[in-house]
Amino acid sequence: MHIAQWIAAHAVAEVLAGHNLTQALPQAMRKAAQATPQQQAAAQDYSYLTLRRYAEADALLQALTSRPLTDARIRALLLVALAQLLQQREDDFTVVNQAVEAAGKSKQRWAKGLVNAVLRNFVRQRAPLMAALAEQPMLQYNMPTWWIDLLKQQYPQHWTSLLETGNQHPPMTLRVNLRKTTTEAYLTTLQAAGLEARLLGETAIQLQHPVPVTQLPYFAEGWVSVQDAAAQWAAPLLNAQPGMRVLDACSAPGGKTGHLLERTEGLNVQALDSDAKRLQRVQDNLQRLGLSAQCQVGDAARDEWYDGQPFDRILADVPCSASGIVRRHVDMKWLRRPQDIASFARTQQQILANLWRMLAKDGTLMYVTCALFQQENDMQIQQFLTMHPDARRLPVTFTESALPCTLHVGGQLLPTAEHDGLFYALLHKG
C-alpha cells in the first residue's frame, strides 16, 4: 500500500499548504494514475486519518526530528505513517516498510533513510513519547487550541463530547422519498440487498456501514437521497404550504431543495446558488428525484437576481465555519483560523439583511448553519432582531418521534452518533 501512502502524503501536504481536501485528494489520485481502486480507497482513509490525528502526529514528528523538515511531501508522508502507527490497525513493520518504499518515489536521496529512522525510533519509544504528550488538550482532542477554548467557553456542559464526536467517523444517513416508497419498505429493500440499517424517524434511515451510492437500491430512480438526519429537520420546520413561493438560498448541493419538494406538492421553489457548477448538482439531484425548481445563479447577499416578487418562505442555509460537521470535513479544523469566524458572521449578516427585504409580510425565514460557534448562530440572530423590529423569533421544536434530536440547546442540534451539529432559527415577519 505504499502507493496509497504516497497519494495521501500529497493530499495532506496540499491541505497543510492551505488547500481543501475535497480538491487536493482527487488531484493527488490523478498524479498516481496507476493506483488501483483499492489503493485509492486506502489513500482516502489515510488522508482522513492523518488529518483527524494531525496534532498528535505533528507533535511526535517534532519530538523525533532535530530540525523542521523542509520537504513538504516527506514531512506529510511521515505524518501519514505516524497516524497509521497511532491507530494500530496495521502491523508496525508493514507500515514502516511501506512508508520507506513510498519515500523511494521522492527525488531526495536521503528520504528513505530518514523515514526509516524516524518511524523505527517511534516504534521503539512509543510508550514514553505518548506519555509525554498525553496531558496536552490539543493533542488529546486533535483540535486547535482556540477551537477547544471556544467550545469550552460556549458549551461548558458538552465541550468534551463535542470534541470527541468531532473525531469520530460520521454516519451515513438516507432520506427516503415518501412519494416513491416508505421508510419501512425501503429498510426491507436494504436488508434484502445485504445492507444493515435502522430507522431513525419519519424519513431517515441510517446505514450501519457507509457504501457508495451506486450500491443503494433504486438510488438512480430517486427513492432515496443521502442527507444527514439533522439536515432533514429543515423542510418540516419551514412548514411550506402548497402554492407558496419559496426561496432556497445557497441551495447547493440541493438536499434541502429536494426535501421541500418531496414533502409538499404545489410549491413554487427557486433554488439559488452563487456557484454555477454547484447549482448544476442541484439540477442533477432534482432530475434524479423527478422534481423541478427554478434554478438560478445568484449571490444571496446581493439582489441583482431578484425579480421583486416577495417570497412566503425563505431557507437561508448560509456559509459558515462547518464546525458542526468537522468529522465529515476533517481538514476544516486545520484550515480555519479564529478570525474566520468573524468573517463568516459578517457574510451571514449581509445575507440575512438582504433576504429579509425579499420576505413577504407574515412570511417566515429559516436561518441554518452547520456550525457550533455561537457568533455564527444565536448571537447572529440576537443581533438581527435588535436591528429589525418587524422580526419575531419563533420557537424551534425538535420532536424525538419525528427525527433523532438527542442533544440540543435551543435551536442548536449538537453532533451525536446519529446526526451532525446544525443550528436552526425561525424568523417571522410582522
In DSSP terms, which residues pair with 138 in a beta bridge? none
Phi and psi dihedrals of 360, rounded to 5?
Answer: -70, 155
Buried residues in 333-368 as b, exposed as e (16+ CB within 10 A):
bbbbeeeebeebbeebbebbebbbebbeeebbbbbb
Of 302, 237, 294, 242, residue with least CA distance to 271: 294
152 dihedral zone (left: phi>0; alpha: psi -120 to 50; beta)? alpha
Q: Which residues have a Cβ under 8 Å from the Cβ of 154 and sit 6 or more positions away?
A: 372, 373, 374
Of 333, 321, 17, 376, residue with least CA distance to 148: 333
Rg (CA), the chain: 23
**Rounded distance between C-alpha atoms, residue 316 and residue 113, angstroms:** 54
Name the percent of the chain in helix, strand, coil, to the closest 5.
Answer: 50, 15, 35
Q: Any idea what the Cα angle at residue 340 is, between residues 26 and 76, rounded to 5°?
A: 40
For strand 268-273 and strand 294-297, is the pairing parallel, antiparallel, or unpaired? parallel
CB 132 within 8 A of CB 36: no
Distances (CA, A) of 17 to 76, 80, 105, 335, 410: 11, 16, 21, 9, 37
Please confirm, yes or no, whether 370 is among the known catalytic residues: yes
All cell numbers assigned to 407: 442533544
All cell numbers assigned to 149: 477554548
Where do runs of H (alpha helix) occur along 142-180? 145-154, 159-165
The per-type count for the chain, helices as H runs and strands as E runs, is 17, 13
Choice among 250, 295, 320, 370 that is catalytic: 370
Which positions are annotated as active-site residues? 370
